[in-house]
Amino acid sequence: MQTIKEVAKMAGVGLGTVSRVLNDSGYVKESTRQKVLAAVEALHYVPNDVARNLRHQSTRFVGLIIPTIWHPFFSKLAYFIEQELYLYDYKMLLCNSEQALDKELRYFEMLQKSQVAGIIMISYNDFPEPQSDLPIVTIDRIISPRFLHVSADNRHGGELAAEALVQRGCRKLLFLGSASPVPTEVDKRREGFVRKARELGVSCTVYEETVLLKQELSVIQNFLAQDIPFDGALTSSDLFAAALIKALGDKGQTCPDDFQVIGFDGIQDNPYFKPILATIRQPVEKMARRSVELLLDKINNQAAGEDTIIDIEFFAGETVKPIV
Amino acid sequence: MQTIKEVAKMAGVGLGTVSRVLNDSGYVKESTRQKVLAAVEALHYVPNDVARNLRHQSTRFVGLIIPTIWHPFFSKLAYFIEQELYLYDYKMLLCNSEQALDKELRYFEMLQKSQVAGIIMISYNDFPEPQSDLPIVTIDRIISPRFLHVSADNRHGGELAAEALVQRGCRKLLFLGSASPVPTEVDKRREGFVRKARELGVSCTVYEETVLLKQELSVIQNFLAQDIPFDGALTSSDLFAAALIKALGDKGQTCPDDFQVIGFDGIQDNPYFKPILATIRQPVEKMARRSVELLLDKINNQAAGEDTIIDIEFFAGETVKPIV
DNA sequence: AATTTTATTGAAATTGTTTCCAAATGAATT
DNA sequence: AATTCATTTGGAAACAATTTCAATAAAATT
């Protein structure tokens, strides 16, 4: 491999001079600059960031720990995070934790050893306080006051859903979905929904189970076995909404005529597949960009911006009726 | 930050001894081992991989360059690649190229500077031969004989689709989708399809435009404007299939009664959304694992395995009729 | 012409680790 | 008691860059 040494020798200059040319720092005569650049070109020299990082005692790596990239919500988030990091010349290390705490911890350690500049993390586990003071942003869940945090306004999302359903004639509301063993933003969706339902004077049932991703159907089956009546539902995610509609459809009930459903997240981004879910859309792009902004602020200034709650919106789709 | 030096001082031993303990290499007395480990614990020492990498002249980073993680095919692929890399203690740097050559090149350079051990790449551009001999695996397209390569058996996929449609009564076949400016595996899908159609004695039209991702609808509109008759279509991707069904649905034609459609890729992985596309399923997981296997072989042994074509299967879904 | 300032350069020190080498210790063998 | 051999250890060199420092050269000012 070619190093700065070979470049220096070929150009007939000292090591420092090559470095100065490469980094545009300090004085260097134009003619020597040209000699050095010519040598760089001729030798196909590529700077070694490992050495540079060691000397600088820092890297431009950022770790992203998410449950799984194989889920449209997280993949969209990761897309925008990477895009934003790229603008600032940071590189993204992707870590799929499978929602398992031990994997999250192992990844965390791995990232620390790699001297990442910071970490963006989505964890729904009881993540322990780390020793280090590595800059960390959590999305969708407050883990520690020492971490920065970005979320959508989930409580408001719950309220919007309750309002939308009641406006459309529903009187027996249902919140259906999965709960985490620890407090999360999903709780706020439920809280906002239940509170608004009470405020509007309609009944509201909550059915939750603690399950991992992709377990939607089994939760739905358990719920249906209980024969709880409802005419409008908010689910904890879009996939639950779709699964509910599917399960009831198999029993001959149609949406939105027999029941109305609103999902949460907004993962459908093309209009080709049915049903087009009514949903509370998370502002994924804004969340991603804000997370990066907060993280880089912290990395560069130590004085970081504030935790951020980003507004959310209701999208009517086809699984609710028109307003009466 | 704590270094091996502080650990050595605290444990009252030399630098080399600490290193030997940490790496389980060479001789070290049990009692000193304990002293060192105690110091590591007490100081919350975390090894610095940057320094280690510099000394070893290698890293355990692998770059993944894909058009966009915000697309289910690539996100699924990335998921399995990361999972497999994790088993071997490699970390994945994710790069979204947006299918733009300049971004691919900039990422390539970035990864080189970071001294990645290898790169897995999906590019549909005219990617130039690099100078370096960095281990590289390309998926879904042969770019250079110097790169290793993994694909699905796309030609066979095209054949399977033609057979399936003809078996189901189609006589006027259509291949519809996007083409790249360079030869890709999509060409093989078309070739297999057209060849099998001819073999079976049915007519076959090809309609292709060169577009980026997410442009499906405009291609479909242009195609429909030409009023080309067909009764069975294979599209270059699932999204094209869904868009075609949607567009014709808006015109009052229903699938599979008025026309049958088979997509390509197999991106639907839950049964909640309609239509459930008939499709040629790419063996994404196998492709991912094989790519990693090939890459690591090359990294570790230089003597690498062979380019791999992985078999593909037809999934009937709901957008084709039962066999007549 | 002497002095100051600015421009230009190479050499040396530094970053945190691994690994080689020499020295020292201890045990086993002659 | 002398020699061999296996353990155990600390120190130095190396990895590829950056940055400080001092030295020199050139230009500008007195």
Nucleotide nearest to A54 (CA to C1'): C15
Distance from CA(B33) to C1'(D13), angstroms, rounded? 25
Q: Between chains, do B246 and A76 touch, taking CB under 8 Å as contact?
A: no
Looking at CA atoms only, how far is residue A132 from chain B in angstroms?
9
CB A255 within 8 A of CB A248: yes
Q: Running DSSP on this structure, what letter comes out for residue A274? A: B
- Mean of pLDDT over chain B: 95
Paired sense of beta strands B148-152 and B118-121, if any = unpaired
Token reading at B242: 């869904």
CA distance A88 to B254: 49
Comparing alpha-carbon positions, the chain B residue that sits nearest to A249 is B272
A249 CA: distance to closest CA in chain B (Å):
10
B26 CB and strand D closer than 7 A: yes
Identify the pLDDT of residue B303.
74
The predicted structure's pLDDT at residue A220: 96
What is the structure's pLDDT at A21? 95
B57 Cβ contacts chain D strand, under 7 Å: yes
- 8 A C-beta contact, residue B161 and residue B193: yes
Measured in angstroms, the CA of A157 and the nearest CA of chain B are apart by: 23
Contacts of B68 in chain A (CB under 8 A): 79
Residue B207 C-alpha, separation from nearest chain A C-alpha, in angstroms: 20
B contacts of A218 (beta carbons < 8 Å): none
Chain B residue nearest residue A63, CA to CA: B93
Query: A302 falls in which pLDDT band (50, 70, 90)?
Result: confident
Q: What is the pLDDT of residue B26?
A: 84
Spell out which residues of chain A touch residue B273, defining contact as CB-CB under 8 Å.
242, 273-275
Residue B274: its chain A contacts at CB < 8 A? 273-275
With a cut of 90, say whether residue B168 has pLDDT above it: yes
Our CA angle for A129, A126, A72, nearest 5°, is: 110
List of chain A residues whose C-beta atoms are within 8 Å of the C-beta of residue B82: 69, 94-96
Query: Which residues are within 8 A (CB) of B88 and not within 5 positions of it... i.e. 6 or more apart?
Result: B292, B296
The vertex-A242 CA angle with A236 and A246, nearest 5°, equals 135
Which of strand C's nucleotides are less than 7 A from any protein C-beta? 7-21
Can you give the pTM of this predicted structure? 0.95
Q: Say how far apart CA B98 and CA B69 lie, in whole Å.
A: 9
Instruction: Say whether the CB atom of B56 is under 7 angstroms from strand D.
Output: no
Comparing CA positions, the residue from B116, B70, B69, B122 lying closest to residue B92 is B116
Question: pLDDT tens digits, residue range A104-143?
Answer: 999 999 999 999 999 999 999 999 999 889 999 999 999 9
Give pLDDT tens digits for B181-209: 899 999 999 999 999 999 999 999 999 99
Q: Over range A98-102, report the average pLDDT.
A: 95
Return the residue in B1, B56, B69 with the most chain A beta carbons within 10 A, the one to mutate for interface testing: B69
